[in-house]
Amino acid sequence: MMRRLLPLLLIILSISIPAFAAPPVPPKPNTINYVYDYANIINPADEETMRSLGKEIDSETGAQIVVVTVDDMGGYPIEDYALELFRKWGIGNKEKNNGVLLIVNKKNLMENTSGKVRIEVGYGLEGAIPDSVAGRILDDYVLPSWDNNNYSEGILNGYMAIAKEVADEYGVDIESLKSMPGVSGPSQDSDGSIRDLILILILIFFIFPFIGGRGRRSVRRSIWWGGFGPGGFGGGGFGGGGFGGGGFGGGGFGGGSSGGGGASR
């Protein structure tokens, strides 16, 4: 019986192993040039513009914005591929995790299927570029040009929109971005709603008990600190970078990491 099942088990094993294997991303470059057009989509002028802007952002803020285009991702989801490349290369500063990756899958782009582009955001910039803003950059700056087959233009527009958000986050003025409006997203309204919720909870748990009596106050305070105080929420976040070295503008990658924040289309 086992001898009959052995060939079947070997087939299942051969199929399942690639599913758990890491995506075969390009090797980490020795220096950072900000644009790695392996799929030959970007024209030279746009490439130079992005490299110059990337170098300026890096030198002014320490954040690293990198563009990568590949011919194919070997059947791996773009989210897995982008995360593996981001971590393997170590985009952004190791302590700040302030890297951003704009990655394009040429195969899916030409076929106009999902998984053609992704913005992968390091943990340290998720406040400036939450998932909603990353998605809006793709929808408003990248995809409209792609609808007219202007692939290089779309990548450039997306890169500049990312750079604008990073520059605003660090409070630096970049001449080429001054006329570019910032990208707004639902997250700003969400932040306001969270603040309102916190104020309501403070009123409920700290002020109302004084009205209702001291005994109930002690009970409610125990509920507050037990459920919502320090240690009440579970841990989380992104793993620290495992890549050494760093430098700005033509140096090396900084060793940053990401935990999967961003958006795909």
What range defines the domain where residue 60 resides? 35-180
Q: Which residue has the tokens 């209702």?
A: 212
Q: Are the beta carbons of 54 and 35 closer than 8 angstroms?
A: yes
Would you state the pLDDT for residue 166?
A: 97
Residue 118 lies in a domain: yes
What CATH number has the domain bearing residue 150?
3.10.310.50
| Integer Cα distance of 235 and 79 in angstroms | 23
Distance CA 109, CA 100 (A): 20
Domain contains 46: yes
Separation between Cα atoms, residue 233 and residue 91, nearest integer Å: 29
- Is 169 domain-assigned? yes
Give pLDDT, residue 5.
58
Q: What amino acid is encoded at 69 in this protein?
A: T
Residue among 91, 108, 236 at smallest CA distance from 82: 91
To the question of pTM greater than 0.75 for the whole model, the response is no
Nearest to 65 by CA among 39, 36, 41: 36
Instruction: Find, among 223, 253, 257, the residue nearest to 237 by Cα.
Output: 257
How many domains are contained in the chain? 1
> Distance between CA 134 and CA 79 in Å, rounded?
13
pLDDT of residue 222: 34
Classify residue 227: in a domain, yes or no: no
Residue 12: inside a domain:
no
**Residue 226 included in any domain:** no
DSSP character string of 190-248? HHHHHHHHHHHHHIIIIIHHHHH-HHHHHHHHHHHHHHTSTTSSPP---PPP------S
Q: Please state, in angstroms and rounded to a whole number, the distance separating the CA atoms of residues 184 and 187.
A: 8
Task: Give the tokens for residue 38.
Answer: 């392996």
CA distance 255 to 88: 9
pLDDT tens string for the chain (265 positions)?
555 555 555 555 455 444 557 899 999 999 999 999 999 999 999 999 999 999 999 999 999 999 999 999 999 999 999 999 999 999 999 999 999 999 999 999 999 999 999 999 999 999 999 999 999 999 999 999 999 999 999 999 999 999 999 999 999 999 889 877 777 544 444 444 444 444 455 555 554 444 444 443 333 333 333 333 333 323 333 333 333 333 334 578 989 999 899 999 9
Burial of residue 233 (CB within 10 Å: 0-12, 13-18, 19+) is: exposed
